[in-house]
Chains A and B, each alone.
Chain A
Amino acid sequence: MKFVSVLFLLLSSVLLHAQDAKSLLRNVNKKFLAVNDYKAAVFMKFNIPGVKIKNMNGQVMYKRPNKFRVKANGIFFLPKQNPMQNMSQILMDTNAYTAVFSGNEVVQGMACAVVNLVPLQSNNEIILGRFWIDSKSALVLKSQITTKNNGTIETENRFGALGKYALPDRMLITVEVAKIKVPKMLAADLNKKSTDKSTATNTREKGTIELLLSDYKLNQKLSDAEFVETQ
Protein backbone atom coordinates (compact mmCIF):
# COMPACT_ATOMS: atom_id res chain seq x y z
CA MET A 1 0.00 0.00 0.00
CA LYS A 2 2.86 2.29 0.97
CA PHE A 3 4.63 1.43 -2.28
CA VAL A 4 1.52 2.28 -4.35
CA SER A 5 1.18 5.62 -2.57
CA VAL A 6 4.82 6.50 -3.24
CA LEU A 7 4.45 5.48 -6.90
CA PHE A 8 1.27 7.55 -7.19
CA LEU A 9 3.01 10.54 -5.67
CA LEU A 10 5.98 10.17 -7.99
CA LEU A 11 3.80 9.81 -11.10
CA SER A 12 1.59 12.73 -10.20
CA SER A 13 4.67 14.88 -9.56
CA VAL A 14 6.09 13.96 -12.98
CA LEU A 15 2.73 14.70 -14.64
CA LEU A 16 2.44 17.98 -12.77
CA HIS A 17 5.94 18.99 -13.91
CA ALA A 18 5.13 18.02 -17.49
CA GLN A 19 2.02 20.14 -17.29
CA ASP A 20 4.04 23.03 -15.80
CA ALA A 21 6.54 22.77 -18.63
CA LYS A 22 3.81 22.77 -21.29
CA SER A 23 2.02 25.77 -19.78
CA LEU A 24 5.34 27.63 -19.54
CA LEU A 25 5.99 26.89 -23.20
CA ARG A 26 2.50 28.05 -24.10
CA ASN A 27 3.31 31.39 -22.45
CA VAL A 28 6.54 31.61 -24.45
CA ASN A 29 4.63 30.81 -27.65
CA LYS A 30 2.12 33.58 -27.00
CA LYS A 31 4.96 36.07 -27.40
CA PHE A 32 6.08 34.57 -30.69
CA LEU A 33 2.52 34.71 -32.04
CA ALA A 34 2.38 38.50 -31.83
CA VAL A 35 5.00 38.83 -34.59
CA ASN A 36 4.19 37.81 -38.15
CA ASP A 37 7.37 39.16 -39.64
CA TYR A 38 10.27 41.38 -38.71
CA LYS A 39 13.31 43.09 -40.12
CA ALA A 40 16.27 44.23 -38.01
CA ALA A 41 19.81 45.48 -38.35
CA VAL A 42 22.39 42.97 -37.18
CA PHE A 43 26.04 43.35 -36.24
CA MET A 44 27.86 40.03 -36.37
CA LYS A 45 31.01 39.19 -34.42
CA PHE A 46 32.72 35.93 -35.28
CA ASN A 47 35.11 33.88 -33.20
CA ILE A 48 35.48 30.64 -35.09
CA PRO A 49 38.57 28.46 -34.56
CA GLY A 50 40.72 28.40 -37.68
CA VAL A 51 38.76 31.19 -39.37
CA LYS A 52 39.73 34.84 -39.25
CA ILE A 53 36.80 37.00 -40.28
CA LYS A 54 36.05 40.63 -39.59
CA ASN A 55 32.91 41.82 -37.81
CA MET A 56 30.11 42.56 -40.20
CA ASN A 57 26.89 44.55 -40.50
CA GLY A 58 23.81 43.06 -42.09
CA GLN A 59 20.09 42.76 -42.01
CA VAL A 60 18.01 39.96 -40.56
CA MET A 61 14.51 39.11 -41.80
CA TYR A 62 11.89 36.68 -40.57
CA LYS A 63 8.44 35.77 -41.80
CA ARG A 64 6.07 33.29 -40.25
CA PRO A 65 6.09 30.32 -40.35
CA ASN A 66 9.65 29.51 -41.39
CA LYS A 67 11.16 32.09 -43.71
CA PHE A 68 14.43 33.48 -42.43
CA ARG A 69 17.35 35.29 -44.01
CA VAL A 70 20.44 37.18 -42.96
CA LYS A 71 21.50 39.61 -45.69
CA ALA A 72 25.07 40.97 -45.69
CA ASN A 73 27.75 41.85 -48.19
CA GLY A 74 30.44 39.21 -48.43
CA ILE A 75 31.25 35.86 -46.88
CA PHE A 76 29.91 35.10 -43.41
CA PHE A 77 29.02 32.10 -41.31
CA LEU A 78 25.82 31.16 -39.51
CA PRO A 79 25.10 27.96 -37.60
CA LYS A 80 23.58 25.19 -39.67
CA GLN A 81 20.79 24.78 -37.12
CA ASN A 82 20.17 28.47 -36.81
CA PRO A 83 18.70 29.00 -33.33
CA MET A 84 17.08 32.28 -34.38
CA GLN A 85 15.24 30.51 -37.14
CA ASN A 86 14.48 27.33 -35.30
CA MET A 87 13.61 28.29 -31.77
CA SER A 88 10.13 29.55 -32.59
CA GLN A 89 9.58 26.58 -34.92
CA ILE A 90 10.69 24.06 -32.31
CA LEU A 91 8.64 25.53 -29.51
CA MET A 92 5.49 26.25 -31.54
CA ASP A 93 4.80 22.67 -32.56
CA THR A 94 3.83 21.41 -29.11
CA ASN A 95 2.71 18.01 -30.45
CA ALA A 96 6.13 17.24 -31.87
CA TYR A 97 7.89 16.78 -28.55
CA THR A 98 7.62 15.80 -24.93
CA ALA A 99 8.41 18.61 -22.50
CA VAL A 100 9.95 17.75 -19.14
CA PHE A 101 10.63 20.23 -16.38
CA SER A 102 14.06 19.43 -14.99
CA GLY A 103 14.71 22.02 -12.29
CA ASN A 104 15.61 25.63 -11.72
CA GLU A 105 18.84 27.45 -12.52
CA VAL A 106 20.03 31.03 -12.40
CA VAL A 107 20.86 32.55 -15.81
CA GLN A 108 21.86 36.23 -16.20
CA GLY A 109 20.94 36.68 -12.55
CA MET A 110 17.38 35.48 -13.07
CA ALA A 111 15.79 32.29 -11.77
CA CYS A 112 14.94 30.14 -14.76
CA ALA A 113 12.96 26.96 -15.20
CA VAL A 114 14.90 24.37 -17.16
CA VAL A 115 12.71 22.53 -19.66
CA ASN A 116 13.92 19.60 -21.71
CA LEU A 117 12.25 18.86 -25.03
CA VAL A 118 12.53 15.39 -26.50
CA PRO A 119 11.24 15.08 -30.08
CA LEU A 120 8.68 12.32 -30.54
CA GLN A 121 9.77 11.46 -34.08
CA SER A 122 13.01 9.51 -34.34
CA ASN A 123 13.86 10.94 -37.78
CA ASN A 124 14.18 14.44 -36.30
CA GLU A 125 17.59 16.10 -36.70
CA ILE A 126 17.28 17.43 -33.16
CA ILE A 127 17.97 14.86 -30.46
CA LEU A 128 17.34 17.04 -27.41
CA GLY A 129 16.42 20.64 -26.74
CA ARG A 130 17.07 22.28 -23.40
CA PHE A 131 15.57 25.69 -22.62
CA TRP A 132 16.20 27.99 -19.68
CA ILE A 133 13.00 30.01 -19.39
CA ASP A 134 12.46 33.00 -17.13
CA SER A 135 9.02 32.09 -15.82
CA LYS A 136 8.20 35.71 -14.88
CA SER A 137 8.74 37.16 -18.35
CA ALA A 138 8.26 33.89 -20.28
CA LEU A 139 11.49 34.50 -22.21
CA VAL A 140 14.02 31.90 -23.29
CA LEU A 141 17.29 33.22 -21.85
CA LYS A 142 19.36 30.26 -22.88
CA SER A 143 18.93 27.21 -25.07
CA GLN A 144 20.97 24.17 -25.88
CA ILE A 145 20.05 22.12 -28.93
CA THR A 146 21.78 18.80 -29.50
CA THR A 147 21.64 17.61 -33.10
CA LYS A 148 22.45 14.32 -34.77
CA ASN A 149 25.07 15.62 -37.17
CA ASN A 150 26.15 19.07 -36.05
CA GLY A 151 26.90 18.66 -32.37
CA THR A 152 25.47 20.97 -29.75
CA ILE A 153 24.43 24.58 -30.37
CA GLU A 154 24.13 26.79 -27.34
CA THR A 155 22.42 30.18 -27.47
CA GLU A 156 22.28 32.89 -24.87
CA ASN A 157 19.75 35.68 -25.41
CA ARG A 158 19.60 39.11 -23.85
CA PHE A 159 16.36 41.01 -24.18
CA GLY A 160 15.67 44.72 -24.22
CA ALA A 161 12.66 46.79 -25.17
CA LEU A 162 11.28 44.17 -27.54
CA GLY A 163 11.37 41.43 -24.93
CA LYS A 164 7.59 41.53 -24.94
CA TYR A 165 7.75 39.97 -28.43
CA ALA A 166 10.56 37.57 -27.46
CA LEU A 167 12.92 39.40 -29.82
CA PRO A 168 16.45 39.57 -28.40
CA ASP A 169 18.92 42.48 -28.57
CA ARG A 170 21.89 40.21 -28.30
CA MET A 171 22.44 36.55 -29.10
CA LEU A 172 25.59 34.61 -28.34
CA ILE A 173 25.64 31.39 -30.29
CA THR A 174 28.20 28.75 -29.37
CA VAL A 175 28.81 25.97 -31.88
CA GLU A 176 31.06 22.94 -31.89
CA VAL A 177 33.42 23.10 -34.86
CA ALA A 178 35.64 20.37 -36.26
CA LYS A 179 39.25 21.45 -36.61
CA ILE A 180 40.02 22.92 -40.04
CA LYS A 181 42.98 21.36 -41.71
CA VAL A 182 44.07 22.90 -45.00
CA PRO A 183 46.51 20.56 -46.78
CA LYS A 184 49.98 22.12 -46.91
CA MET A 185 50.13 21.67 -50.67
CA LEU A 186 46.77 23.41 -51.19
CA ALA A 187 47.73 26.20 -48.82
CA ALA A 188 51.15 26.37 -50.53
CA ASP A 189 52.74 27.25 -47.19
CA LEU A 190 55.76 25.23 -48.18
CA ASN A 191 58.10 27.18 -45.96
CA LYS A 192 55.82 27.80 -43.00
CA LYS A 193 56.56 25.87 -39.85
CA SER A 194 53.49 24.12 -38.51
CA THR A 195 52.53 25.47 -35.09
CA ASP A 196 49.93 22.77 -34.49
CA LYS A 197 51.51 19.66 -33.02
CA SER A 198 48.27 17.82 -32.32
CA THR A 199 47.75 14.62 -34.28
CA ALA A 200 44.03 14.22 -33.57
CA THR A 201 42.03 14.89 -36.72
CA ASN A 202 38.49 14.77 -35.30
CA THR A 203 38.94 17.22 -32.42
CA ARG A 204 36.07 19.67 -31.99
CA GLU A 205 36.50 23.16 -30.66
CA LYS A 206 33.96 25.76 -29.62
CA GLY A 207 33.28 28.71 -31.87
CA THR A 208 31.03 31.66 -31.12
CA ILE A 209 28.97 34.05 -33.21
CA GLU A 210 27.60 37.11 -31.49
CA LEU A 211 24.63 38.86 -33.05
CA LEU A 212 23.71 42.35 -31.90
CA LEU A 213 20.25 43.18 -33.13
CA SER A 214 18.74 46.63 -33.32
CA ASP A 215 16.28 48.77 -35.24
CA TYR A 216 13.54 46.13 -35.31
CA LYS A 217 10.65 46.73 -37.68
CA LEU A 218 7.72 44.48 -36.86
CA ASN A 219 4.87 43.25 -39.02
CA GLN A 220 5.87 45.11 -42.18
CA LYS A 221 4.22 42.49 -44.44
CA LEU A 222 7.52 41.38 -45.95
CA SER A 223 7.20 39.80 -49.38
CA ASP A 224 8.50 36.28 -50.03
CA ALA A 225 10.81 37.68 -52.69
CA GLU A 226 12.95 39.29 -49.99
CA PHE A 227 13.89 35.85 -48.72
CA VAL A 228 15.22 34.63 -52.06
CA GLU A 229 19.01 34.45 -52.13
CA THR A 230 20.54 35.96 -55.24
CA GLN A 231 24.10 35.04 -56.29
Chain B
Amino acid sequence: MSSFKNIYINEWIKTMKRPRSYIGFAIIIFICGMLQSAFYHDGKEILSFVTQSLENSFDINGTILNGNLICFILLQTLIVQLPLLVAFVTGDMVSGETSSGTIRFLLTRPASRTKIIIAKWLAGLTYTFFLLIVLGVMALFVARGVFGNGDLMALNSEGLTIVPADDLGWRWFYALCIAFLSLSVVATLSLFFSCILDNSITPIVTVMAIIIIFTIIGMFDIPSFDVIKPFLFTTHMISWKSLFEDPIPFADIRFSCIVLGVHLVVLLGLSLYFFNKKDISS
Protein backbone atom coordinates (compact mmCIF):
# COMPACT_ATOMS: atom_id res chain seq x y z
CA MET B 1 0.00 0.00 0.00
CA SER B 2 2.82 2.39 0.90
CA SER B 3 4.53 1.57 -2.41
CA PHE B 4 1.35 2.53 -4.23
CA LYS B 5 1.19 5.74 -2.22
CA ASN B 6 4.79 6.51 -3.22
CA ILE B 7 4.03 5.88 -6.86
CA TYR B 8 0.99 8.14 -6.63
CA ILE B 9 2.96 10.94 -4.94
CA ASN B 10 5.69 10.53 -7.51
CA GLU B 11 3.15 10.83 -10.35
CA TRP B 12 1.54 13.86 -8.73
CA ILE B 13 4.96 15.57 -8.35
CA LYS B 14 5.75 14.76 -11.99
CA THR B 15 2.43 16.28 -13.06
CA MET B 16 2.94 19.46 -11.09
CA LYS B 17 6.57 19.84 -12.17
CA ARG B 18 5.53 20.26 -15.79
CA PRO B 19 4.98 23.94 -16.66
CA ARG B 20 2.01 23.04 -18.88
CA SER B 21 0.06 21.95 -15.78
CA TYR B 22 -0.17 25.58 -14.70
CA ILE B 23 -1.54 26.79 -18.02
CA GLY B 24 -4.99 25.43 -17.04
CA PHE B 25 -5.03 27.32 -13.74
CA ALA B 26 -3.82 30.51 -15.46
CA ILE B 27 -6.51 30.22 -18.17
CA ILE B 28 -9.28 29.68 -15.61
CA ILE B 29 -8.17 32.66 -13.51
CA PHE B 30 -7.80 34.82 -16.62
CA ILE B 31 -11.20 33.90 -18.13
CA CYS B 32 -13.00 34.29 -14.79
CA GLY B 33 -11.38 37.67 -14.18
CA MET B 34 -12.07 38.84 -17.73
CA LEU B 35 -15.75 37.79 -17.73
CA GLN B 36 -16.36 39.15 -14.23
CA SER B 37 -14.88 42.48 -15.27
CA ALA B 38 -17.06 42.49 -18.43
CA PHE B 39 -20.19 41.72 -16.40
CA TYR B 40 -19.25 44.34 -13.82
CA HIS B 41 -19.25 47.03 -16.50
CA ASP B 42 -21.85 45.81 -19.03
CA GLY B 43 -23.74 43.09 -17.17
CA LYS B 44 -27.07 44.89 -17.12
CA GLU B 45 -27.02 45.45 -20.89
CA ILE B 46 -26.03 41.81 -21.52
CA LEU B 47 -28.86 40.57 -19.29
CA SER B 48 -31.40 42.87 -20.88
CA PHE B 49 -31.18 40.67 -24.02
CA VAL B 50 -32.77 37.91 -21.96
CA THR B 51 -35.12 39.92 -19.76
CA GLN B 52 -36.25 42.43 -22.41
CA SER B 53 -39.52 40.67 -23.23
CA LEU B 54 -40.32 40.31 -19.52
CA GLU B 55 -39.41 43.89 -18.70
CA ASN B 56 -42.05 45.12 -21.16
CA SER B 57 -44.72 43.68 -18.88
CA PHE B 58 -43.07 43.44 -15.46
CA ASP B 59 -40.93 45.33 -13.05
CA ILE B 60 -38.25 42.86 -12.02
CA ASN B 61 -37.57 43.43 -8.33
CA GLY B 62 -34.40 42.25 -6.63
CA THR B 63 -30.82 42.02 -7.82
CA ILE B 64 -30.54 39.76 -10.86
CA LEU B 65 -26.88 40.46 -11.51
CA ASN B 66 -25.31 38.77 -8.50
CA GLY B 67 -22.48 36.37 -7.74
CA ASN B 68 -24.62 33.28 -8.25
CA LEU B 69 -25.67 34.28 -11.77
CA ILE B 70 -22.06 35.13 -12.67
CA CYS B 71 -20.95 31.73 -11.35
CA PHE B 72 -23.70 29.99 -13.35
CA ILE B 73 -22.67 31.75 -16.57
CA LEU B 74 -18.97 31.11 -15.93
CA LEU B 75 -19.52 27.42 -15.21
CA GLN B 76 -21.63 26.84 -18.28
CA THR B 77 -19.07 28.69 -20.41
CA LEU B 78 -15.99 27.02 -18.96
CA ILE B 79 -17.33 23.51 -18.62
CA VAL B 80 -17.11 23.26 -22.42
CA GLN B 81 -13.47 24.42 -22.45
CA LEU B 82 -12.29 22.70 -19.29
CA PRO B 83 -12.03 19.21 -20.89
CA LEU B 84 -9.42 20.61 -23.27
CA LEU B 85 -7.34 21.83 -20.31
CA VAL B 86 -7.67 18.45 -18.59
CA ALA B 87 -6.70 16.54 -21.76
CA PHE B 88 -3.72 18.85 -22.18
CA VAL B 89 -2.19 17.47 -18.98
CA THR B 90 -3.57 13.93 -18.72
CA GLY B 91 -3.16 13.16 -22.44
CA ASP B 92 0.56 12.57 -22.24
CA MET B 93 0.86 10.94 -18.83
CA VAL B 94 1.86 7.63 -20.41
CA SER B 95 2.61 8.54 -24.02
CA GLY B 96 4.91 11.37 -22.91
CA GLU B 97 6.99 8.89 -20.95
CA THR B 98 6.87 6.39 -23.82
CA SER B 99 8.15 8.93 -26.34
CA SER B 100 10.87 10.21 -23.99
CA GLY B 101 11.90 6.70 -22.95
CA THR B 102 11.43 7.18 -19.20
CA ILE B 103 8.69 4.52 -19.22
CA ARG B 104 11.43 1.84 -19.26
CA PHE B 105 12.84 3.13 -15.96
CA LEU B 106 9.37 3.39 -14.49
CA LEU B 107 8.58 -0.23 -15.33
CA THR B 108 11.82 -1.53 -13.84
CA ARG B 109 10.32 -0.78 -10.40
CA PRO B 110 8.75 -3.70 -8.56
CA ALA B 111 5.25 -2.17 -8.72
CA SER B 112 2.83 -3.78 -11.16
CA ARG B 113 1.74 -2.02 -14.34
CA THR B 114 -1.80 -1.90 -12.94
CA LYS B 115 -0.59 0.02 -9.88
CA ILE B 116 1.39 2.42 -12.04
CA ILE B 117 -1.56 3.19 -14.33
CA ILE B 118 -3.97 3.58 -11.39
CA ALA B 119 -1.49 5.96 -9.74
CA LYS B 120 -1.24 7.98 -12.95
CA TRP B 121 -5.04 7.99 -13.25
CA LEU B 122 -5.45 9.21 -9.67
CA ALA B 123 -2.81 11.90 -10.23
CA GLY B 124 -4.82 13.02 -13.28
CA LEU B 125 -8.03 13.09 -11.24
CA THR B 126 -6.30 15.07 -8.48
CA TYR B 127 -5.19 17.61 -11.06
CA THR B 128 -8.78 17.78 -12.40
CA PHE B 129 -10.07 18.22 -8.85
CA PHE B 130 -7.77 21.18 -8.21
CA LEU B 131 -8.74 22.74 -11.55
CA LEU B 132 -12.37 22.57 -10.44
CA ILE B 133 -11.53 23.96 -7.00
CA VAL B 134 -9.83 26.96 -8.62
CA LEU B 135 -12.84 27.37 -10.92
CA GLY B 136 -15.25 27.10 -7.98
CA VAL B 137 -13.33 29.64 -5.90
CA MET B 138 -12.96 32.08 -8.79
CA ALA B 139 -16.45 31.66 -10.19
CA LEU B 140 -18.47 31.45 -6.97
CA PHE B 141 -16.62 33.01 -4.07
CA VAL B 142 -14.85 35.81 -5.94
CA ALA B 143 -18.05 36.58 -7.90
CA ARG B 144 -20.09 36.67 -4.66
CA GLY B 145 -17.46 38.99 -3.17
CA VAL B 146 -17.70 41.35 -6.14
CA PHE B 147 -21.40 41.13 -7.08
CA GLY B 148 -22.94 40.00 -3.79
CA ASN B 149 -25.21 37.06 -3.00
CA GLY B 150 -28.83 36.69 -4.13
CA ASP B 151 -31.41 34.54 -5.90
CA LEU B 152 -30.17 32.82 -9.03
CA MET B 153 -31.89 33.48 -12.33
CA ALA B 154 -30.91 30.26 -14.09
CA LEU B 155 -31.06 30.49 -17.86
CA ASN B 156 -32.14 27.62 -20.06
CA SER B 157 -33.57 27.44 -23.55
CA GLU B 158 -37.09 26.91 -22.18
CA GLY B 159 -37.00 30.10 -20.10
CA LEU B 160 -35.87 31.20 -16.66
CA THR B 161 -35.91 29.55 -13.26
CA ILE B 162 -35.52 31.65 -10.14
CA VAL B 163 -33.75 29.66 -7.43
CA PRO B 164 -33.79 31.22 -3.92
CA ALA B 165 -30.36 32.11 -2.51
CA ASP B 166 -30.81 29.91 0.58
CA ASP B 167 -31.48 26.89 -1.63
CA LEU B 168 -28.29 27.19 -3.67
CA GLY B 169 -25.48 25.86 -1.45
CA TRP B 170 -26.22 22.16 -1.90
CA ARG B 171 -26.96 22.67 -5.62
CA TRP B 172 -23.53 24.23 -6.21
CA PHE B 173 -21.87 21.39 -4.27
CA TYR B 174 -23.55 18.66 -6.35
CA ALA B 175 -23.06 20.67 -9.55
CA LEU B 176 -19.30 20.67 -8.91
CA CYS B 177 -19.45 16.93 -8.09
CA ILE B 178 -21.15 16.19 -11.43
CA ALA B 179 -18.66 18.48 -13.20
CA PHE B 180 -15.86 16.52 -11.53
CA LEU B 181 -17.36 13.22 -12.73
CA SER B 182 -17.64 14.62 -16.27
CA LEU B 183 -14.06 15.84 -16.31
CA SER B 184 -12.87 12.55 -14.82
CA VAL B 185 -14.29 10.83 -17.90
CA VAL B 186 -12.24 13.18 -20.09
CA ALA B 187 -9.13 12.54 -17.97
CA THR B 188 -9.69 8.77 -18.29
CA LEU B 189 -10.29 9.02 -22.04
CA SER B 190 -7.01 10.92 -22.38
CA LEU B 191 -5.23 8.29 -20.30
CA PHE B 192 -6.68 5.56 -22.52
CA PHE B 193 -5.34 7.19 -25.70
CA SER B 194 -2.11 7.89 -23.90
CA CYS B 195 -1.77 4.16 -23.24
CA ILE B 196 -2.35 3.06 -26.82
CA LEU B 197 -0.42 5.81 -28.60
CA ASP B 198 3.29 6.43 -28.32
CA ASN B 199 3.29 10.02 -29.45
CA SER B 200 2.95 12.73 -26.81
CA ILE B 201 0.70 15.12 -28.80
CA THR B 202 -1.62 12.70 -30.64
CA PRO B 203 -3.65 11.61 -27.57
CA ILE B 204 -4.32 15.25 -26.64
CA VAL B 205 -5.40 16.14 -30.18
CA THR B 206 -7.52 12.97 -30.45
CA VAL B 207 -9.40 13.74 -27.23
CA MET B 208 -9.97 17.33 -28.32
CA ALA B 209 -11.26 16.10 -31.70
CA ILE B 210 -13.63 13.64 -30.01
CA ILE B 211 -15.01 16.33 -27.72
CA ILE B 212 -15.51 18.75 -30.61
CA ILE B 213 -17.24 16.10 -32.80
CA PHE B 214 -19.49 14.88 -29.98
CA THR B 215 -20.41 18.47 -29.02
CA ILE B 216 -21.33 19.26 -32.64
CA ILE B 217 -23.49 16.12 -32.80
CA GLY B 218 -25.22 17.28 -29.62
CA MET B 219 -25.88 20.77 -30.94
CA PHE B 220 -28.11 19.76 -33.83
CA ASP B 221 -31.71 18.59 -33.48
CA ILE B 222 -31.32 15.95 -36.21
CA PRO B 223 -33.41 12.78 -35.70
CA SER B 224 -30.62 10.41 -36.83
CA PHE B 225 -28.33 11.87 -34.14
CA ASP B 226 -30.98 11.37 -31.44
CA VAL B 227 -30.20 7.63 -31.34
CA ILE B 228 -26.57 8.09 -30.35
CA LYS B 229 -26.83 11.32 -28.33
CA PRO B 230 -27.83 9.66 -25.00
CA PHE B 231 -24.66 7.53 -25.11
CA LEU B 232 -22.17 10.32 -25.77
CA PHE B 233 -20.43 11.51 -22.62
CA THR B 234 -20.54 15.12 -23.86
CA THR B 235 -24.37 14.99 -23.73
CA HIS B 236 -24.16 14.42 -19.98
CA MET B 237 -21.34 16.84 -19.21
CA ILE B 238 -23.75 19.71 -18.66
CA SER B 239 -26.26 17.67 -16.67
CA TRP B 240 -25.16 19.71 -13.60
CA LYS B 241 -27.39 22.47 -15.03
CA SER B 242 -30.45 20.32 -14.33
CA LEU B 243 -29.85 20.90 -10.62
CA PHE B 244 -31.01 24.46 -11.19
CA GLU B 245 -34.33 23.49 -12.76
CA ASP B 246 -37.68 23.35 -10.98
CA PRO B 247 -38.63 20.58 -10.42
CA ILE B 248 -35.20 18.97 -10.50
CA PRO B 249 -35.19 16.04 -12.98
CA PHE B 250 -33.41 13.63 -10.60
CA ALA B 251 -34.03 10.63 -12.88
CA ASP B 252 -32.25 12.38 -15.78
CA ILE B 253 -29.36 13.39 -13.53
CA ARG B 254 -29.07 9.82 -12.21
CA PHE B 255 -29.02 8.49 -15.80
CA SER B 256 -26.33 11.01 -16.75
CA CYS B 257 -24.20 9.98 -13.76
CA ILE B 258 -24.62 6.31 -14.68
CA VAL B 259 -23.59 6.95 -18.30
CA LEU B 260 -20.57 8.96 -17.14
CA GLY B 261 -19.71 6.28 -14.55
CA VAL B 262 -19.90 3.50 -17.16
CA HIS B 263 -17.64 5.52 -19.48
CA LEU B 264 -15.18 5.97 -16.62
CA VAL B 265 -15.04 2.28 -15.69
CA VAL B 266 -14.86 1.03 -19.29
CA LEU B 267 -12.15 3.52 -20.28
CA LEU B 268 -10.10 2.77 -17.16
CA GLY B 269 -10.48 -0.95 -17.81
CA LEU B 270 -9.37 -0.52 -21.42
CA SER B 271 -6.41 1.63 -20.28
CA LEU B 272 -5.33 -1.11 -17.86
CA TYR B 273 -5.77 -3.81 -20.49
CA PHE B 274 -3.77 -1.99 -23.16
CA PHE B 275 -1.04 -0.81 -20.76
CA ASN B 276 -0.58 -4.32 -19.37
CA LYS B 277 -0.31 -5.67 -22.94
CA LYS B 278 1.90 -2.83 -24.12
CA ASP B 279 5.17 -3.80 -25.66
CA ILE B 280 7.77 -1.28 -24.50
CA SER B 281 10.17 -1.03 -27.37
CA SER B 282 11.40 2.56 -27.10
Contacts and interface: CB of A to CB of B under 8 A. Distances in A.
Interface of A: 48-54, 70, 72, 74-80, 82, 149-151, 175-184, 186-196, 207, 231
A175 B58 contact: yes
Given A54-B164, A195-B158, A190 B57 contact: no
A184 B61 contact: no
Interface of B is mostly: mixed
B238 to A, nearest CB: 7
Interface string B155-188: 1111111101100000000000000000000000
Nearest to A74: B151
A79 B50 CA distance: 18
B67 to A, nearest CB: 14
Contacts of A149: 56
Contacts of A231: 63
Closest 7 CB pairs of A and B: A50-B159, A75-B62, A178-B53, A188-B76, A191-B218, A74-B151, A53-B162
Contacts, number: 128
A180 B156 contact: no
Given A175-B57, A186-B49, A194 B219 contact: no
Contacts of B77: 188
Contacts of B208: none
A188 B80 contact: yes
B45 interface: no
B60 A77 contact: yes
Nearest to A209: B58
Contacts of A190: 80, 215, 218-219, 238
Given A74-B62, A75-B62, A191-B234, A178 B56 contact: yes
B58 A196 contact: no
A190 B218 CA distance: 6
Interface of A is mostly: loop
A187 to B, nearest CB: 4
Nearest to A195: B158
A192 B156 contact: yes
Given A74-B162, A177-B57, A191 B157 contact: no
Interface string B211-235: 0000100110100001001000011
Contact of B53 (A80, A180, A183, A195): A180
A69 to B, nearest CB: 9
Contacts of A50: 158-160
A80 B56 contact: yes
A178 B50 CA distance: 12
B274 to A, nearest CB: 30
B59 A82 contact: yes
B162 A187 contact: no
A193 B226 contact: yes
Given A177-B53, A191-B235, A194-B221, A52 B159 contact: yes
B61 A75 contact: yes
Nearest to B247: A52
A51 B156 contact: no
B50 A188 contact: no
